[in-house]
Amino acid sequence: MKPVIGVTPDFNAGDRKEWGGKEPTYFLRARYIRAIEELGGVPVILPLVADRAARRRLLQGIDGLLLTGSGPDLDPTLYGESQRYRFPIVAQRRSSFELDLVLLAIRKQIPTLAICGGMQTMNVACGGTLYQDLTAQVNDVLQHRQQIPAVQVSHSITITPGSLLDRIVKRTRMNVNSSHHQSVKSVGRTLVASAAAPDGIVEAIEHPRHPFFLGIQWHPEFLFERHLLHRRLFQTFLRAASRRASHQPSPAIRGTNS
Ligand SMILES: N[C@@H](CCC(=O)NCCCC(=O)O)C(=O)O
């Protein structure tokens, strides 16, 4: 059965001068939808409803959750800090929705894949913190906003042996693309870091006691068409969601044949 995957869009409240426009607007890069559709899922773009009961109702209709990236950054007050650098802030409607859904997805054991800004939201939802600006706060940090096209990889990551990510890609090292200026500083409760860049920046987090709960700092939706390992990320996520769809207990990933 094809799993239904809820996909979170970005949102422009319409009052940000630097974004122009007046009307509140949802937007989402089509690659996220294409990756889910082409690899066997049914993507559904989720409206960022404010009502908590409505959020729970939405989750009843999906088998997996995909938290997408975002140009703007999470409000630092959400992880107990004041804003120290100039950057646009994610719309409160989006951050409130996603922070709530992350905790619901843990409680309800909903397979969840979080990409880039989505990973940062996943971490903050679990009580973790972020570097507000890598180049200002971390010495000798790599260029994590690559200047080459996102369909190209730009640095390697080292993967923790035995982690979910390792069990998916069956490698302890792989190459990724990179388009971020923030990253995980302290890892949230119940989560573990499972990959790092050569400069030590966290590149993946996961919940070890959840069927599939993985946050990654890179963008596999630009890479899945030509890179097997990035395709496997979506395929394994969709298999976990499909198991939920068929109401089978969703065992921890024991290998790509499970
Ligand atoms: N703002 C955060 C997260 C970066 C991110 O999600 N980038 C993706 C760009 C938007 C998109 O194309 O989806 C940071 O810069 O660290």
> Any residues with Cβ below 6 Å from ligand 1, and which?
29, 68-71, 73, 116-117, 120, 179-182
**Cα of 97 from ligand 1 centre, angstroms:** 17
**Cα of 182 from ligand 1 centre, angstroms:** 9
> What pLDDT score does 18 carry?
59
Nearest to 41 by CA among 50, 33, 49: 33
Three-state secondary-structure class, residue 156: strand
Three-state secondary-structure class, residue 253: coil
**Cα of 54 from ligand 1 centre, angstroms:** 27
Instruction: Name the helix (H) or strand (E) containing 233.
Output: helix 228-245
CA of residue 222 relative to chain centroid, distance:
14
Specify the pTM: 0.94
Task: Give the ligand 1 atom nearest the CA of 72.
Answer: 1
Per DSSP (E only), the strands in 72-208 are 112-115, 130-131, 155-159, 173-176, 183-184, 192-196, 202-206
**Cα of 35 from ligand 1 centre, angstroms:** 18
Task: Note whether 67 and 112 are within 8 A (CB).
Answer: yes
Task: Note whether 234 and 35 are within 8 A (CB).
Answer: yes
Most ligand 1 atoms within 8 A of CB, residue of 11, 79, 138, 179 to mutate: 179
Q: Whose C-alpha lies nearest to ligand 1, atom 3?
A: 117
**Cα of 67 from ligand 1 centre, angstroms:** 11
Nearest to 32 by CA among 205, 191, 166, 233: 233
> What pLDDT score does 255 carry?
44
Most ligand 1 atoms within 8 A of CB, residue of 70, 129, 184 to mutate: 70
Q: Give CA–CA dist 131/138, Å, rounded.
A: 8
* Per-residue model confidence as pLDDT tens for the chain (258 residues): 899 999 999 999 886 565 555 788 999 999 999 999 999 999 999 999 999 999 999 999 999 999 999 999 999 999 999 999 999 999 999 999 999 999 999 999 999 999 999 999 999 999 999 999 999 999 999 999 999 999 999 999 999 999 999 999 999 999 999 999 999 999 999 999 999 999 999 999 999 999 999 999 999 999 999 999 999 999 999 999 999 998 754 445 444 443
Task: Note whether 198 and 155 are within 8 A (CB).
Answer: yes
**Cα of 69 from ligand 1 centre, angstroms:** 5
CA torsion, points 32, 34, 40, 46, in degrees to nearest 10? 50
> What pLDDT score does 219 carry?
98
**What amino acid positions are annotated as catalytic residues?**
116, 219, 221
Task: Give the ligand 1 atom nearest the CA of 87.
Answer: 1
Nearest to 217 by CA among 195, 239, 236, 249: 195
Most ligand 1 atoms within 8 A of CB, residue of 29, 31, 45, 180 to mutate: 180
Task: Give the ligand 1 atom nearest the CA of 115.
Answer: 6
Task: Give the ligand 1 atom nearest the CA of 145.
Answer: 15
> What pLDDT score does 49 carry?
98
